[in-house]
Amino acid sequence: MTFGFAPSSAASLSSAASATRLLEPAEWAAAGIPLLRNPREVVSGLHSRHDPKPATAIVAVLDPDERLRASASFTSRPAPADGWMFRNVLLAQLRRVIPHDLRRRTPVRTAVLVYCREGDARWTEEDGAWMWGLRDACTLHGLRCGAYITLTRDGWQVLGEGRGGRRPNTVSAPEPFAMSEAPPPPPRTGGVASDVLRRAAAR
């Protein structure tokens, strides 16, 4: 599988410490991330629920049947891409919307991340930092680490898998919700994550 590379939209990760807090596409693909059975349905459902704009991240928890159990969206502030900072923000959001599964021997629920951003679908260092953050946040919350999906003007793409589509995208209208037969839980937005990112950017 071939991956493109584009400069990060965030500040460059120049220090060795920061460089360890991102995952390259090959590392991500080799990590055994579970495949979504119907990624378009998941992306469309989250897009309909949160109607994200560029710089918006959506973290969602799915049950073993890929039914949505919880989700939260928040806006990422301009700051150097750092997986440790992203991990803390994602963990704070997960703690707000769903109990942890740390008592289970094996995780049964899966967290996925959709990041809406400018640019094209090629991997960036910022994507790598989000991947690192998602993987670590899932470990600390007792969840399986699921797909990392970018949403751009060109459409959506599951990084590390090569699956994607033209709709939804950053300018398309939300489609009718279809991720679950059960009534969807209310979305969560903003809150702690925005404050965390603002404080981190100020340091």
pLDDT digits (tens, 9 = 90+) for 123-149: 999 999 999 999 999 999 999 999 999
- How confident is the model at residue 77, as a pLDDT? 78
pTM summary value: 0.79
- How confident is the model at residue 78, as a pLDDT? 73
Residue 173 tokens read as 């209208």
pLDDT digits (tens, 9 = 90+) for 102-114: 988 899 999 999 9
Residue appearing with tokens 């809406």: 116
Provide DSSP, the chain. Answer: ----B---SS----SHHHHTT---HHHHHTTTPPPPS-HHHHHHHHHHHH---TTEEEEEEE-TT--EEEEEEEEPPS----HHHHHHHHHHHHHHHS---TTSSS--SEEEEEEE-SS-SSB-HHHHHHHHHHHHHHHHHT-EEEEEEEEETTEEEETTTTEEESSS-TTSPPPPP-S-SSPPPPPEESTHHHHHHHHHHH-
Nearest-angstrom CA–CA distance, 116 and 172 = 12
Residue 62 tokens read as 């799915």
- How confident is the model at residue 124, as a pLDDT? 94
